[in-house]
Structure 1
Amino acid sequence: MKSRLLFALLAPLLLTGCLLSPGKFNSQLALMKDGSFSYAYKGEIQMLALSKLAEMGADKEDKFEAKDCYEDDGFETRECTAGEIAAQKEEWDAGADARRIEKKEKAERFKAIMGGVDPSDPEAARELVEMLERQKGWNSVSHKGDGLFDVDFAISGQLSHDFAFPVIEKMPIGSSFVSVILRKDGKVRVDAPGFAAQGAGNPLQGMMGGVMGMAAMEANKKKDGEPPVFVMPEGTFTIITDGTVLANNTDEGPQASAQGQVLAWEINARSEQAPTALIDLSR
Protein backbone atom coordinates (compact mmCIF):
# COMPACT_ATOMS: atom_id res chain seq x y z
CA MET A 1 0.00 0.00 0.00
CA LYS A 2 2.78 2.40 0.95
CA SER A 3 4.74 1.58 -2.21
CA ARG A 4 1.67 2.46 -4.29
CA LEU A 5 1.45 5.78 -2.42
CA LEU A 6 5.17 6.31 -3.08
CA PHE A 7 4.56 5.79 -6.79
CA ALA A 8 1.62 8.23 -6.72
CA LEU A 9 3.94 10.88 -5.23
CA LEU A 10 6.84 10.06 -7.51
CA ALA A 11 5.04 9.77 -10.86
CA PRO A 12 4.15 13.48 -11.35
CA LEU A 13 7.73 14.45 -10.48
CA LEU A 14 9.18 12.07 -13.04
CA LEU A 15 6.64 13.12 -15.66
CA THR A 16 7.77 16.76 -15.41
CA GLY A 17 11.11 16.33 -17.11
CA CYS A 18 12.39 13.16 -15.40
CA LEU A 19 13.36 15.23 -12.38
CA LEU A 20 17.00 15.90 -13.21
CA SER A 21 18.86 17.02 -10.12
CA PRO A 22 22.42 18.31 -9.64
CA GLY A 23 24.70 16.64 -7.11
CA LYS A 24 28.27 17.75 -6.44
CA PHE A 25 29.25 20.20 -9.17
CA ASN A 26 31.12 23.26 -10.36
CA SER A 27 29.44 25.50 -12.92
CA GLN A 28 30.52 28.69 -14.66
CA LEU A 29 28.78 31.08 -17.04
CA ALA A 30 30.57 33.84 -18.97
CA LEU A 31 28.58 36.68 -20.60
CA MET A 32 30.45 39.32 -22.57
CA LYS A 33 29.47 42.62 -24.20
CA ASP A 34 30.81 41.46 -27.58
CA GLY A 35 27.98 38.88 -27.61
CA SER A 36 30.10 35.87 -26.74
CA PHE A 37 29.17 33.46 -24.00
CA SER A 38 30.35 30.17 -22.54
CA TYR A 39 28.86 27.75 -20.07
CA ALA A 40 30.42 24.80 -18.26
CA TYR A 41 29.06 22.22 -15.83
CA LYS A 42 31.30 19.56 -14.35
CA GLY A 43 29.98 17.13 -11.76
CA GLU A 44 27.00 14.95 -10.93
CA ILE A 45 23.51 14.86 -12.41
CA GLN A 46 20.86 12.43 -11.17
CA MET A 47 17.92 11.23 -13.22
CA LEU A 48 15.36 9.83 -10.82
CA ALA A 49 13.62 7.90 -13.59
CA LEU A 50 16.64 5.57 -13.41
CA SER A 51 16.97 5.45 -9.63
CA LYS A 52 15.70 2.88 -7.13
CA LEU A 53 12.83 5.24 -6.36
CA ALA A 54 11.21 4.44 -9.70
CA GLU A 55 11.90 0.74 -9.23
CA MET A 56 10.37 0.73 -5.74
CA GLY A 57 7.37 2.77 -6.82
CA ALA A 58 6.62 0.48 -9.76
CA ASP A 59 4.91 -1.97 -7.39
CA LYS A 60 5.94 -5.02 -9.44
CA GLU A 61 4.24 -7.44 -7.04
CA ASP A 62 0.61 -6.44 -7.41
CA LYS A 63 -0.83 -8.04 -4.26
CA PHE A 64 -4.24 -7.66 -2.71
CA GLU A 65 -4.40 -5.81 0.60
CA ALA A 66 -7.69 -5.34 2.42
CA LYS A 67 -8.80 -1.74 2.94
CA ASP A 68 -9.91 -0.40 6.32
CA CYS A 69 -13.47 -0.96 7.41
CA TYR A 70 -15.42 1.64 9.38
CA GLU A 71 -18.12 1.81 11.99
CA ASP A 72 -21.57 3.06 10.97
CA ASP A 73 -20.59 6.64 11.85
CA GLY A 74 -17.98 6.52 9.08
CA PHE A 75 -15.13 7.73 11.29
CA GLU A 76 -13.95 4.91 13.55
CA THR A 77 -12.08 2.04 11.92
CA ARG A 78 -12.78 -1.56 12.87
CA GLU A 79 -11.66 -5.04 11.93
CA CYS A 80 -13.19 -6.19 8.66
CA THR A 81 -15.39 -9.26 8.60
CA ALA A 82 -14.51 -12.26 6.47
CA GLY A 83 -17.38 -11.39 4.14
CA GLU A 84 -16.17 -7.80 3.70
CA ILE A 85 -12.64 -8.96 2.92
CA ALA A 86 -13.99 -11.49 0.42
CA ALA A 87 -16.01 -8.75 -1.28
CA GLN A 88 -12.95 -6.49 -1.48
CA LYS A 89 -10.92 -9.37 -2.95
CA GLU A 90 -13.60 -10.02 -5.57
CA GLU A 91 -13.57 -6.35 -6.57
CA TRP A 92 -9.74 -6.41 -6.68
CA ASP A 93 -9.68 -9.45 -8.97
CA ALA A 94 -12.27 -7.86 -11.26
CA GLY A 95 -9.96 -4.84 -11.74
CA ALA A 96 -6.91 -6.89 -12.74
CA ASP A 97 -7.17 -6.09 -16.45
CA ALA A 98 -7.60 -2.37 -15.79
CA ARG A 99 -4.52 -2.34 -13.55
CA ARG A 100 -2.44 -4.11 -16.20
CA ILE A 101 -3.51 -1.55 -18.82
CA GLU A 102 -2.73 1.32 -16.44
CA LYS A 103 0.74 -0.07 -15.73
CA LYS A 104 1.45 -0.43 -19.44
CA GLU A 105 0.32 3.14 -20.10
CA LYS A 106 2.52 4.48 -17.27
CA ALA A 107 5.51 2.54 -18.63
CA GLU A 108 4.91 4.04 -22.08
CA ARG A 109 4.72 7.57 -20.61
CA PHE A 110 8.01 7.09 -18.77
CA LYS A 111 9.59 5.79 -21.97
CA ALA A 112 8.26 8.77 -23.95
CA ILE A 113 9.69 11.38 -21.59
CA MET A 114 13.05 9.62 -21.75
CA GLY A 115 13.33 9.94 -25.52
CA GLY A 116 12.40 6.32 -26.17
CA VAL A 117 14.70 4.88 -23.50
CA ASP A 118 12.91 2.31 -21.32
CA PRO A 119 13.85 3.09 -17.68
CA SER A 120 13.16 -0.52 -16.68
CA ASP A 121 15.71 -1.81 -19.20
CA PRO A 122 19.10 -2.73 -17.64
CA GLU A 123 20.71 -1.07 -20.67
CA ALA A 124 18.84 2.24 -20.14
CA ALA A 125 21.77 4.01 -18.50
CA ARG A 126 24.13 3.00 -21.31
CA GLU A 127 21.64 4.19 -23.93
CA LEU A 128 21.26 7.51 -22.16
CA VAL A 129 25.04 7.97 -22.02
CA GLU A 130 25.27 7.36 -25.76
CA MET A 131 22.40 9.80 -26.40
CA LEU A 132 24.05 12.58 -24.39
CA GLU A 133 27.49 12.07 -25.92
CA ARG A 134 25.97 12.61 -29.37
CA GLN A 135 24.90 16.10 -28.34
CA LYS A 136 27.22 19.07 -28.66
CA GLY A 137 28.79 20.14 -25.37
CA TRP A 138 28.60 16.82 -23.54
CA ASN A 139 32.31 16.01 -23.53
CA SER A 140 32.03 12.99 -21.24
CA VAL A 141 29.22 11.15 -19.46
CA SER A 142 29.55 8.12 -17.19
CA HIS A 143 26.96 6.30 -15.09
CA LYS A 144 27.90 5.84 -11.43
CA GLY A 145 24.82 3.76 -10.59
CA ASP A 146 21.32 4.44 -9.22
CA GLY A 147 20.63 7.02 -11.93
CA LEU A 148 23.62 9.15 -10.95
CA PHE A 149 25.84 10.38 -13.79
CA ASP A 150 29.20 12.12 -13.78
CA VAL A 151 29.31 14.67 -16.62
CA ASP A 152 31.64 17.18 -18.19
CA PHE A 153 29.70 19.73 -20.23
CA ALA A 154 31.06 22.84 -21.92
CA ILE A 155 29.74 25.01 -24.74
CA SER A 156 30.54 28.45 -26.15
CA GLY A 157 29.42 30.74 -28.95
CA GLN A 158 27.45 33.91 -29.64
CA LEU A 159 24.54 34.69 -27.33
CA SER A 160 21.95 35.26 -30.07
CA HIS A 161 19.13 33.37 -28.34
CA ASP A 162 17.99 32.12 -24.95
CA PHE A 163 19.96 29.30 -23.36
CA ALA A 164 19.04 26.58 -20.86
CA PHE A 165 20.89 23.70 -19.25
CA PRO A 166 20.40 20.80 -19.32
CA VAL A 167 18.53 20.01 -22.53
CA ILE A 168 18.33 16.38 -23.61
CA GLU A 169 17.30 15.30 -27.10
CA LYS A 170 13.68 14.11 -27.43
CA MET A 171 12.94 14.80 -23.78
CA PRO A 172 10.58 17.56 -22.64
CA ILE A 173 12.27 20.45 -20.87
CA GLY A 174 11.49 20.38 -17.17
CA SER A 175 13.03 22.59 -14.52
CA SER A 176 16.37 23.92 -15.79
CA PHE A 177 19.47 24.10 -13.64
CA VAL A 178 20.36 27.38 -15.38
CA SER A 179 18.48 29.59 -17.83
CA VAL A 180 19.70 32.68 -19.68
CA ILE A 181 16.96 34.94 -21.06
CA LEU A 182 17.73 37.77 -23.51
CA ARG A 183 15.78 41.03 -23.43
CA LYS A 184 15.43 43.41 -26.37
CA ASP A 185 17.21 46.25 -24.56
CA GLY A 186 20.49 44.33 -24.22
CA LYS A 187 19.83 43.11 -20.70
CA VAL A 188 20.21 39.44 -19.79
CA ARG A 189 18.38 37.65 -16.99
CA VAL A 190 20.09 34.62 -15.41
CA ASP A 191 18.22 32.22 -13.13
CA ALA A 192 19.49 28.97 -11.64
CA PRO A 193 16.48 27.27 -9.98
CA GLY A 194 18.19 23.90 -9.98
CA PHE A 195 20.94 25.20 -7.70
CA ALA A 196 18.69 25.75 -4.68
CA ALA A 197 18.49 22.79 -2.32
CA GLN A 198 15.25 23.84 -0.65
CA GLY A 199 12.68 26.60 -0.28
CA ALA A 200 11.08 28.66 -3.02
CA GLY A 201 14.06 28.32 -5.34
CA ASN A 202 13.44 24.63 -5.98
CA PRO A 203 10.04 23.45 -4.69
CA LEU A 204 10.57 19.97 -6.15
CA GLN A 205 13.33 19.38 -3.61
CA GLY A 206 10.85 20.01 -0.80
CA MET A 207 8.39 17.57 -2.32
CA MET A 208 11.15 15.00 -2.61
CA GLY A 209 11.73 15.18 1.14
CA GLY A 210 8.47 13.36 1.82
CA VAL A 211 9.08 10.90 -1.00
CA MET A 212 12.55 10.09 0.32
CA GLY A 213 11.27 9.45 3.83
CA MET A 214 8.70 6.99 2.52
CA ALA A 215 11.27 5.39 0.22
CA ALA A 216 13.60 4.78 3.16
CA MET A 217 10.76 3.07 5.05
CA GLU A 218 10.07 0.82 2.09
CA ALA A 219 13.78 0.02 1.64
CA ASN A 220 14.05 -1.10 5.24
CA LYS A 221 11.51 -3.82 4.48
CA LYS A 222 13.63 -5.24 1.69
CA LYS A 223 16.38 -7.80 2.14
CA ASP A 224 19.21 -5.47 1.18
CA GLY A 225 17.84 -2.70 3.44
CA GLU A 226 19.43 -0.06 1.21
CA PRO A 227 17.47 3.17 0.75
CA PRO A 228 17.66 4.91 -2.62
CA VAL A 229 20.49 7.34 -3.20
CA PHE A 230 19.22 10.88 -3.69
CA VAL A 231 21.77 13.64 -4.18
CA MET A 232 21.38 17.24 -3.09
CA PRO A 233 22.96 20.22 -4.90
CA GLU A 234 26.43 20.97 -3.56
CA GLY A 235 28.94 23.13 -5.38
CA THR A 236 29.69 26.54 -6.84
CA PHE A 237 28.07 28.62 -9.55
CA THR A 238 29.89 31.67 -10.94
CA ILE A 239 29.08 34.29 -13.55
CA ILE A 240 31.85 36.22 -15.27
CA THR A 241 30.95 39.35 -17.23
CA ASP A 242 32.33 42.63 -18.53
CA GLY A 243 28.81 44.05 -18.59
CA THR A 244 27.05 46.02 -15.86
CA VAL A 245 25.56 43.97 -13.03
CA LEU A 246 22.18 45.59 -12.33
CA ALA A 247 20.90 43.07 -9.76
CA ASN A 248 22.01 39.86 -8.08
CA ASN A 249 21.47 37.89 -4.86
CA THR A 250 25.03 36.88 -4.02
CA ASP A 251 26.33 37.38 -0.46
CA GLU A 252 29.27 39.55 -1.52
CA GLY A 253 28.05 41.22 -4.71
CA PRO A 254 30.16 41.54 -7.87
CA GLN A 255 33.92 41.20 -7.40
CA ALA A 256 36.55 42.65 -9.74
CA SER A 257 38.44 40.25 -12.01
CA ALA A 258 40.74 40.42 -15.02
CA GLN A 259 37.74 39.80 -17.31
CA GLY A 260 35.44 42.30 -15.60
CA GLN A 261 33.27 41.23 -12.67
CA VAL A 262 32.52 37.90 -10.99
CA LEU A 263 29.38 36.81 -9.18
CA ALA A 264 29.77 33.67 -7.07
CA TRP A 265 27.33 31.45 -5.17
CA GLU A 266 28.18 28.61 -2.82
CA ILE A 267 25.44 25.97 -3.00
CA ASN A 268 24.75 23.41 -0.27
CA ALA A 269 21.88 21.61 1.48
CA ARG A 270 20.94 24.82 3.33
CA SER A 271 20.70 27.03 0.23
CA GLU A 272 17.18 28.43 -0.03
CA GLN A 273 17.49 31.13 -2.68
CA ALA A 274 18.16 30.18 -6.27
CA PRO A 275 20.97 32.23 -7.86
CA THR A 276 19.69 35.08 -10.00
CA ALA A 277 21.20 38.10 -11.74
CA LEU A 278 20.31 40.84 -14.21
CA ILE A 279 23.16 42.02 -16.40
CA ASP A 280 23.28 44.83 -18.96
CA LEU A 281 25.50 43.92 -21.92
CA SER A 282 24.70 47.06 -23.90
CA ARG A 283 27.10 49.29 -21.94
Structure 2
Amino acid sequence: MKSRILLALFAPLLLTGCLLSPGKFTSQLSLMKNGSFSYSYAGEIQMLAFSKLAEMAADEEEEFTASDCYDDDFNDRPCTEGEIAEQKAEWDANADVRKAKKAKEAEQMKMFLGGIDPSSPEAAEEFAEKLSRQKGWNKVTHKGDGLFEVDFNVSGQLSHDFAFPMIEKMPMGASFVSAILRKDGKVRIDADGFAAQGAGNPMQGMMSGAMGLAQLKSSEGEGSPNMVLPEGTFTVITDGAILANNTDEGPSRNAAGQQVLTWAVSPRTEAAPTALIDLSD
Protein backbone atom coordinates (compact mmCIF):
# COMPACT_ATOMS: atom_id res chain seq x y z
CA MET A 1 0.00 0.00 0.00
CA LYS A 2 2.78 2.45 0.93
CA SER A 3 4.48 1.75 -2.40
CA ARG A 4 1.32 2.82 -4.18
CA ILE A 5 1.24 6.05 -2.15
CA LEU A 6 4.87 6.72 -3.08
CA LEU A 7 4.08 6.20 -6.75
CA ALA A 8 1.01 8.42 -6.55
CA LEU A 9 3.17 11.23 -5.17
CA PHE A 10 5.90 10.61 -7.74
CA ALA A 11 3.73 10.35 -10.87
CA PRO A 12 3.05 14.11 -11.26
CA LEU A 13 6.77 14.82 -10.93
CA LEU A 14 7.57 12.41 -13.74
CA LEU A 15 5.38 14.30 -16.17
CA THR A 16 6.25 17.91 -15.29
CA GLY A 17 9.97 17.90 -16.01
CA CYS A 18 10.67 18.98 -12.39
CA LEU A 19 12.95 16.01 -11.92
CA LEU A 20 16.11 17.55 -10.47
CA SER A 21 16.37 17.92 -6.71
CA PRO A 22 19.20 19.46 -4.64
CA GLY A 23 20.64 17.44 -1.77
CA LYS A 24 23.54 18.53 0.45
CA PHE A 25 25.23 21.49 -1.23
CA THR A 26 27.14 24.75 -1.05
CA SER A 27 26.23 27.41 -3.60
CA GLN A 28 27.53 30.93 -4.23
CA LEU A 29 26.61 33.71 -6.65
CA SER A 30 28.82 36.79 -7.08
CA LEU A 31 27.53 39.89 -8.91
CA MET A 32 29.71 42.98 -9.41
CA LYS A 33 29.00 46.48 -10.74
CA ASN A 34 31.58 46.02 -13.51
CA GLY A 35 29.32 43.35 -14.98
CA SER A 36 31.33 40.33 -13.86
CA PHE A 37 29.64 37.39 -12.20
CA SER A 38 30.42 33.89 -11.02
CA TYR A 39 28.27 31.03 -9.83
CA SER A 40 29.20 27.76 -8.13
CA TYR A 41 27.31 24.71 -6.89
CA ALA A 42 29.13 21.89 -5.13
CA GLY A 43 27.28 18.92 -3.72
CA GLU A 44 24.43 16.57 -4.52
CA ILE A 45 21.80 16.66 -7.23
CA GLN A 46 19.27 13.89 -7.66
CA MET A 47 17.63 13.02 -10.96
CA LEU A 48 14.35 11.44 -9.86
CA ALA A 49 13.91 9.67 -13.20
CA PHE A 50 16.95 7.50 -12.39
CA SER A 51 15.95 6.61 -8.82
CA LYS A 52 14.51 3.34 -7.53
CA LEU A 53 11.17 5.09 -7.41
CA ALA A 54 11.22 5.37 -11.21
CA GLU A 55 11.89 1.64 -11.42
CA MET A 56 8.97 1.02 -9.08
CA ALA A 57 6.73 3.15 -11.27
CA ALA A 58 7.79 1.30 -14.41
CA ASP A 59 7.35 -2.14 -12.85
CA GLU A 60 4.11 -1.44 -11.03
CA GLU A 61 1.33 -3.67 -12.33
CA GLU A 62 -2.09 -2.11 -12.53
CA GLU A 63 -4.77 -3.93 -10.61
CA PHE A 64 -8.52 -3.57 -10.96
CA THR A 65 -10.25 -1.72 -8.14
CA ALA A 66 -14.00 -1.31 -8.16
CA SER A 67 -15.37 2.22 -8.23
CA ASP A 68 -17.88 3.45 -5.67
CA CYS A 69 -21.58 2.77 -6.20
CA TYR A 70 -24.41 5.13 -5.19
CA ASP A 71 -28.09 4.93 -4.46
CA ASP A 72 -30.78 7.21 -5.89
CA ASP A 73 -29.91 9.87 -3.32
CA PHE A 74 -26.22 9.76 -4.34
CA ASN A 75 -25.17 8.12 -1.09
CA ASP A 76 -22.41 5.51 -1.06
CA ARG A 77 -23.61 1.92 -1.04
CA PRO A 78 -21.97 -1.51 -1.53
CA CYS A 79 -21.69 -2.51 -5.18
CA THR A 80 -23.52 -5.61 -6.33
CA GLU A 81 -21.60 -8.53 -7.84
CA GLY A 82 -23.11 -7.65 -11.22
CA GLU A 83 -21.93 -4.04 -11.00
CA ILE A 84 -18.43 -5.11 -10.03
CA ALA A 85 -18.36 -7.60 -12.91
CA GLU A 86 -19.48 -4.87 -15.31
CA GLN A 87 -16.76 -2.51 -14.08
CA LYS A 88 -14.16 -5.27 -14.41
CA ALA A 89 -15.24 -6.02 -17.98
CA GLU A 90 -14.91 -2.34 -18.90
CA TRP A 91 -11.50 -2.17 -17.21
CA ASP A 92 -10.31 -5.22 -19.20
CA ALA A 93 -11.63 -3.69 -22.43
CA ASN A 94 -9.51 -0.58 -21.84
CA ALA A 95 -6.26 -2.51 -21.41
CA ASP A 96 -4.93 -1.35 -24.80
CA VAL A 97 -5.77 2.27 -23.97
CA ARG A 98 -3.83 2.08 -20.71
CA LYS A 99 -0.90 0.44 -22.47
CA ALA A 100 -0.84 3.18 -25.13
CA LYS A 101 -1.00 5.85 -22.42
CA LYS A 102 1.94 4.30 -20.58
CA ALA A 103 3.95 4.16 -23.82
CA LYS A 104 3.17 7.82 -24.50
CA GLU A 105 4.27 8.80 -21.00
CA ALA A 106 7.52 6.88 -21.52
CA GLU A 107 8.17 8.87 -24.70
CA GLN A 108 7.39 12.12 -22.88
CA MET A 109 9.87 11.20 -20.18
CA LYS A 110 12.51 10.42 -22.79
CA MET A 111 11.89 13.84 -24.35
CA PHE A 112 12.24 15.56 -20.95
CA LEU A 113 15.60 13.81 -20.55
CA GLY A 114 16.96 15.00 -23.87
CA GLY A 115 16.64 11.61 -25.56
CA ILE A 116 17.95 9.50 -22.67
CA ASP A 117 15.82 6.42 -21.97
CA PRO A 118 15.42 6.27 -18.15
CA SER A 119 14.75 2.52 -18.33
CA SER A 120 18.24 1.89 -19.73
CA PRO A 121 20.80 0.49 -17.21
CA GLU A 122 23.31 3.02 -18.57
CA ALA A 123 20.93 6.01 -18.30
CA ALA A 124 22.58 7.60 -15.24
CA GLU A 125 26.09 7.26 -16.66
CA GLU A 126 24.88 8.65 -19.99
CA PHE A 127 23.39 11.62 -18.16
CA ALA A 128 26.63 12.20 -16.25
CA GLU A 129 28.62 12.13 -19.49
CA LYS A 130 26.15 14.55 -21.06
CA LEU A 131 26.62 17.06 -18.24
CA SER A 132 30.40 16.65 -18.26
CA ARG A 133 30.48 17.90 -21.86
CA GLN A 134 28.89 21.21 -20.85
CA LYS A 135 30.99 24.14 -19.72
CA GLY A 136 31.07 24.59 -15.96
CA TRP A 137 30.38 20.99 -14.97
CA ASN A 138 33.83 20.11 -13.65
CA LYS A 139 32.72 16.94 -11.86
CA VAL A 140 29.67 14.72 -12.30
CA THR A 141 29.78 11.38 -10.48
CA HIS A 142 26.85 9.00 -10.15
CA LYS A 143 26.62 7.67 -6.58
CA GLY A 144 23.69 5.36 -7.31
CA ASP A 145 19.88 5.66 -7.16
CA GLY A 146 19.91 8.74 -9.40
CA LEU A 147 22.10 10.72 -6.97
CA PHE A 148 25.01 12.66 -8.46
CA GLU A 149 27.94 14.41 -6.79
CA VAL A 150 28.68 17.52 -8.85
CA ASP A 151 31.08 20.45 -8.94
CA PHE A 152 29.82 23.32 -11.11
CA ASN A 153 31.53 26.66 -11.57
CA VAL A 154 31.06 29.30 -14.24
CA SER A 155 32.07 32.95 -14.55
CA GLY A 156 31.91 35.75 -17.08
CA GLN A 157 30.00 38.95 -17.83
CA LEU A 158 26.36 39.10 -16.78
CA SER A 159 25.04 40.47 -20.08
CA HIS A 160 21.96 38.22 -20.05
CA ASP A 161 19.74 36.27 -17.68
CA PHE A 162 21.30 33.30 -15.89
CA ALA A 163 19.73 30.12 -14.54
CA PHE A 164 21.08 26.94 -12.97
CA PRO A 165 20.88 24.17 -13.92
CA MET A 166 20.50 24.31 -17.70
CA ILE A 167 20.97 20.99 -19.47
CA GLU A 168 21.46 20.44 -23.18
CA LYS A 169 18.33 19.24 -25.01
CA MET A 170 16.25 19.22 -21.85
CA PRO A 171 13.24 21.56 -21.67
CA MET A 172 13.80 24.47 -19.34
CA GLY A 173 11.87 23.67 -16.18
CA ALA A 174 12.05 25.12 -12.69
CA SER A 175 15.62 26.17 -11.86
CA PHE A 176 17.47 26.03 -8.57
CA VAL A 177 18.78 29.60 -8.98
CA SER A 178 18.02 32.38 -11.46
CA ALA A 179 19.38 35.91 -11.95
CA ILE A 180 17.12 38.09 -14.09
CA LEU A 181 18.57 41.28 -15.56
CA ARG A 182 16.46 44.44 -15.73
CA LYS A 183 17.05 47.33 -18.11
CA ASP A 184 17.74 49.76 -15.26
CA GLY A 185 20.74 47.76 -14.01
CA LYS A 186 18.91 45.90 -11.29
CA VAL A 187 19.16 42.11 -10.91
CA ARG A 188 16.43 39.93 -9.40
CA ILE A 189 17.75 36.76 -7.74
CA ASP A 190 15.46 33.85 -6.94
CA ALA A 191 16.56 30.47 -5.58
CA ASP A 192 13.27 28.58 -5.81
CA GLY A 193 15.02 25.22 -5.75
CA PHE A 194 16.30 25.85 -2.23
CA ALA A 195 12.88 25.93 -0.53
CA ALA A 196 11.08 22.70 0.29
CA GLN A 197 7.87 24.16 1.68
CA GLY A 198 5.30 26.76 0.76
CA ALA A 199 3.60 27.38 -2.55
CA GLY A 200 3.73 29.66 -5.52
CA ASN A 201 6.29 28.01 -7.81
CA PRO A 202 6.68 24.59 -9.44
CA MET A 203 9.96 23.76 -7.71
CA GLN A 204 8.51 24.24 -4.24
CA GLY A 205 5.61 21.96 -5.18
CA MET A 206 8.06 19.36 -6.43
CA MET A 207 10.12 19.55 -3.26
CA SER A 208 7.01 19.23 -1.10
CA GLY A 209 6.24 16.03 -2.99
CA ALA A 210 9.80 14.83 -2.47
CA MET A 211 9.47 15.46 1.27
CA GLY A 212 6.38 13.27 1.34
CA LEU A 213 8.22 10.57 -0.56
CA ALA A 214 11.17 10.71 1.83
CA GLN A 215 8.92 10.47 4.87
CA LEU A 216 7.06 7.46 3.51
CA LYS A 217 10.04 5.59 2.13
CA SER A 218 11.61 5.17 5.58
CA SER A 219 8.99 2.54 6.43
CA GLU A 220 9.28 0.76 3.11
CA GLY A 221 12.23 -1.37 4.19
CA GLU A 222 15.29 -2.50 2.28
CA GLY A 223 15.38 -1.45 -1.38
CA SER A 224 13.21 1.62 -0.87
CA PRO A 225 14.19 4.76 -2.86
CA ASN A 226 16.73 7.15 -1.39
CA MET A 227 15.14 10.59 -1.65
CA VAL A 228 17.35 13.58 -0.86
CA LEU A 229 16.18 16.91 0.50
CA PRO A 230 17.87 20.32 0.21
CA GLU A 231 20.41 21.05 2.93
CA GLY A 232 23.19 23.60 2.62
CA THR A 233 24.02 27.27 2.22
CA PHE A 234 23.39 29.78 -0.55
CA THR A 235 25.54 32.92 -0.58
CA VAL A 236 25.32 36.08 -2.67
CA ILE A 237 28.32 38.45 -2.82
CA THR A 238 28.10 41.89 -4.42
CA ASP A 239 29.55 45.40 -4.46
CA GLY A 240 26.19 46.74 -5.64
CA ALA A 241 23.34 48.14 -3.60
CA ILE A 242 21.11 45.51 -1.98
CA LEU A 243 17.59 46.89 -2.36
CA ALA A 244 15.72 43.88 -0.93
CA ASN A 245 16.41 40.45 0.49
CA ASN A 246 14.79 37.88 2.79
CA THR A 247 17.78 36.72 4.84
CA ASP A 248 17.36 36.49 8.61
CA GLU A 249 20.29 38.76 9.44
CA GLY A 250 20.65 41.02 6.40
CA PRO A 251 23.97 41.72 4.64
CA SER A 252 27.40 41.49 6.22
CA ARG A 253 30.78 42.63 4.88
CA ASN A 254 33.69 40.47 3.79
CA ALA A 255 37.38 41.39 3.94
CA ALA A 256 37.15 43.08 0.54
CA GLY A 257 34.33 45.32 1.73
CA GLN A 258 31.76 43.58 -0.42
CA GLN A 259 28.27 42.85 0.87
CA VAL A 260 27.41 39.22 1.65
CA LEU A 261 23.96 37.64 1.93
CA THR A 262 23.75 34.11 3.34
CA TRP A 263 20.81 31.73 3.56
CA ALA A 264 20.88 28.46 5.52
CA VAL A 265 18.76 25.95 3.59
CA SER A 266 17.11 22.91 5.15
CA PRO A 267 13.97 20.78 4.64
CA ARG A 268 12.23 23.27 6.94
CA THR A 269 13.02 26.30 4.75
CA GLU A 270 9.70 27.97 3.97
CA ALA A 271 10.64 30.94 1.80
CA ALA A 272 12.90 30.62 -1.22
CA PRO A 273 15.97 32.89 -1.04
CA THR A 274 15.41 36.08 -3.00
CA ALA A 275 17.13 39.44 -3.42
CA LEU A 276 17.07 42.55 -5.57
CA ILE A 277 20.44 44.17 -6.29
CA ASP A 278 21.24 47.43 -8.08
CA LEU A 279 24.46 47.16 -10.11
CA SER A 280 24.13 50.49 -11.87
CA ASP A 281 26.73 53.18 -11.18
TM-score past 0.5 threshold:
yes
Contact 1:236 1:266 in 2 (8 A): yes
Aligned partner letter, 2:259: Q
Q: Contact conserved, 1:30 with 1:241, CA < 8 A, in 2?
A: yes
Q: 1:257 aligned to 2:254? A: yes
* Map of 1:134 onto structure 2: 133
Partner residue, 2:53: 53
Correspondence for 1:271: 269
For the pair 1:243 / 2:240, whether they are aligned, the reply is yes
Give the CA deviation at 1:39: 0.3
1:111 is matched with 110
Distance in 1, Cα, partners of 2:75 & 2:80: 17
Identify the residue that residue 156 of structure 1 maps to in structure 2. 155
Partner of 2:124: 125
CA–CA distance in structure 2, aligned partners of residues 47 and 75 of structure 1: 44
Structure 1 gaps of 5+ residues are none
With the length of structure 1 as denominator, give the TM-score of the two structures. Answer: 0.89
Alpha-carbon distance between aligned partners in 2 of 1:40 and 1:281, rounded to the nearest angstrom: 20
Which residue, out of 194, 205, 208, partners 2:207? 205
Tell me if the contact between 2:214 and 2:228 (Cα under 8 Å) persists in the aligned partners: no
Provide the C-alpha distance between the structure 1 equivalents of 2:199 and 2:83, rounded to a whole number of angstroms. 46
Question: 1:174-213, aligned counterparts within 5 Å?
Answer: 174-200=173-199, 202-210=204-212
Q: Distance in 1 between the 2:187 and 2:42 partners?
A: 23
SS for the counterpart of 1:58 is helix
Amino acid at match of 2:172: I
Report the alpha carbon displacement of residue 126 of structure 1 after superposing the two structures with TM.
Answer: 0.8
Deviation at 1:73, TM superposition (A): 4.3
Q: How far 1:242 moved relative to its partner?
A: 1.1
SS, match of residue 250 in structure 2: coil
* Letter paired with 2:178: S
Residue 57 (structure 1) shift: 2.7
Asked if the contact 1:141–1:149 (Cα under 8 Å) also holds between the matched residues in 2, the reply is yes
Residue 167 and residue 12 in structure 1: after superposition, are their counterparts in 2 closer, same or farther (change >3 A)?
same
Look up the equivalent residue of 2:10 and give its one-letter code: L
Residue 233 of structure 1 corresponds to 230
Matched to 2:44, the amino acid is E
Structure 2 unaligned blocks of 5 or more: none
Aligned residues, how many?
A: 277
* Structure 2 CA distance for aligned equivalents of residues 72 and 211 of structure 1: 40
Structure 1 vs Structure 2 CA RMSD: 2.4
| Residue of structure 2 in register with 1:98 after alignment | 97
- Is 1:18–1:47's contact at 8 Å kept on the other side of the alignment? no
Residue 280 of structure 1 aligns with an amino acid whose one-letter code is D
Q: TM-score, normalised by structure 2?
A: 0.89
CA distance in 1, matches of 2:75, 2:58: 31
State how 1:25-36 maps to structure 2 within 5 Å: 25-36=25-36
Give the percent of matched residue pairs that are identical in Structure 1 and Structure 2. Answer: 66
> Given that residues 136 and 154 in structure 2 are in contact (C-alpha distance below 8 angstroms), is that contact kept between their aligned partners in structure 1?
yes
| Higher deviation after alignment, 204-213 or 86-95 | 204-213
Matching residue's letter, 1:247:
A
Aligned partner of 1:75 in structure 2 is: 75
Distance in 2 of aligned mates of 1:163 and 1:176:
10
Q: Are the counterparts in 1 of residues 198 and 270 from structure 2 also a CA contact under 8 Å?
A: yes
Secondary structure at 1:203 match in 2: helix
Which whole-Å deviations, capped at 9, do the CAs of 1:231-269 have from their partners, x for residues lacking one?
111000101111111111111111111331111111112
Q: CA deviation at 1:47?
A: 1.4
Structure 1 runs (4+) greater than 6 angstroms displaced: 1-5
Amino acid at match of 1:171: M
Q: Which residue of 2 aligns with 1:42?
A: 42
Q: CA deviation at 1:216?
A: 3.5
- Could you tell which deviates more after superposition, 2-11 or 126-135? 2-11
What displacement does 1:70 show? 4.5
